[in-house]
Amino acid sequence: MWRRSMHSASFTDPIFQTSYLRAYQETGGQAGPVCLRCHAPAAVMYDDPLIRQPLSREGITCDYCHSIVSVDLERRDEPFTVKTDGVKRGPLADADSPAHQVASSPLHESSEFCAGCHEYTNERGVSLLSTFSEWKTSPQATQGITCQNCHMPIGPGDVVRSGLGSDRQMINLHNISGGHSRDQVRKAASIRILGVRREPGSSVLVEVQVANTGSGHSIPTGMPTRRLTLDVVLYAGDREVRRFQRHYQKSVVDAGGEILMDDHRVLLEADSILEDTRLRAGERRIEKFYATVSNKQEVLKAEASLTYLYRPELMLRQEMSIDMASDQYTP
């Protein structure tokens, strides 16, 4: 399961690779530790900034997560305390292993455990990643629902190998699906057209409810370069009258007021938050759209759709060809 997760690809993921190289170049390598502490923590632990060791490329490994003993968000550049004492920590109280010592860790069942990487405020005080803070004020937090409940749900599986201290058949799944999972994204929100009605004169009102029904944090969360787009189309009979659009996102700007659209620029240059129109956990928002329809005999209809949009920068392989010479022969 871990091998198929984004955690295993946290360093090799092409989206990260592109942003990391841009950030590394633009800062002369100074951005390296900030990026690598979450995307290649072994590289930071073992002083491998150029990622020469295979271990550094393995991303967020089993060994790293199960060696964490505390999380302190006040230590912005180094929130995790890791012990390399050979003891592997996790939520199981009855686990055993012939390969290493095992310790029960309540931290590994808490959302605080995830906060070290999913909460980040830059040196200018701009909250860029705020997933943990969003969860803390959510209905899910009040109900005791943690990050692990949704992103590492219980499913069938074996603990390491059969017979190692436990005969349980259900374990926390380690594929840790999130924003890269189509199914996970689709569970987060719902939309419903509440009505299409005529107002005084020739005005028509379309009401659409947009709701964060399945996420324990704001949607979209994570990098501010992600957004949701609500598209609404009003018809009179078979005739399209008007299209409407609303965006839900956190927008950050640099010191000059420019909205930052690239991930690496957000991390390097964000100076303030321009707006935050995202849907908070449990929020139901009614959007109203007005149009003019003069013919009162036409039947009014509407369509609405909600789209998750992320446009990361990627390095792509391109073919370059140059015609060097040509010749023909006709007998």
Q: What are the CA-CA distances from residue 253 to residues 67, 124, 224, 226, 280 (Å)? A: 37, 12, 10, 15, 21
Predicted pLDDT at 326: 76
Confidence of residue 315 (pLDDT cuts 50, 70, 90): confident
Report CA dihedral (278, 280, 282, 286) to the nearest 10 degrees.
Answer: -40
DSSP 232: E
- Sign (positive or negative) of CA dihedral 254, 134, 176, 229: negative
Beta-bridge mates of residue 87: 101
Q: How far apart are CA 205 and CA 246, in angstroms?
A: 16
The HSE-up count of residue 188 (CA atoms within 13 Å, CB side) is: 26
Tokens of residue 111, six digits: 């959302």
**Looking at 25-34, 281-290, 316-325, which range is the least confident one?**
316-325
What are the distances in angstroms from CA 313 to CA 79, 212, 263, 264, 324? Answer: 28, 27, 8, 9, 33
- Give the span between the Cα atoms of 37 and 212, in whole angstroms: 31
Q: Identify the three-state secondary structure at position 184.
A: helix
pLDDT in tens, 135-168: 999 999 999 999 999 998 877 766 555 444 456 6
**Residue 60: alpha-carbon gap to chain centroid:** 16
What token pair was written down for 109? 């069942």
Give the position of tokens 């499913």: 155
Delimit the domains of the chain by residue range.
2-172, 182-310
- Residue 175: the pLDDT is 78
What are the residues facing 240 on neighbouring strands? 235
pLDDT > 50? residue 183: yes
Distance between CA 281 and CA 215 in Å, rounded?
6
Per residue in 219-251, pLDDT (tens digit) is 999 999 999 999 999 999 999 999 999 999 999
Q: Structurally, what CATH architecture does the domain formed by 182-310 represent?
A: Sandwich (2.60)
Query: The pTM is what?
Result: 0.88
Specify the 3-state DSSP secondary structure of 22.
Answer: helix
Using a 10 angstrom Cβ sphere, with 0-12 exposed, 13-18 middle and 19 or more buried, the burial of residue 257 is exposed
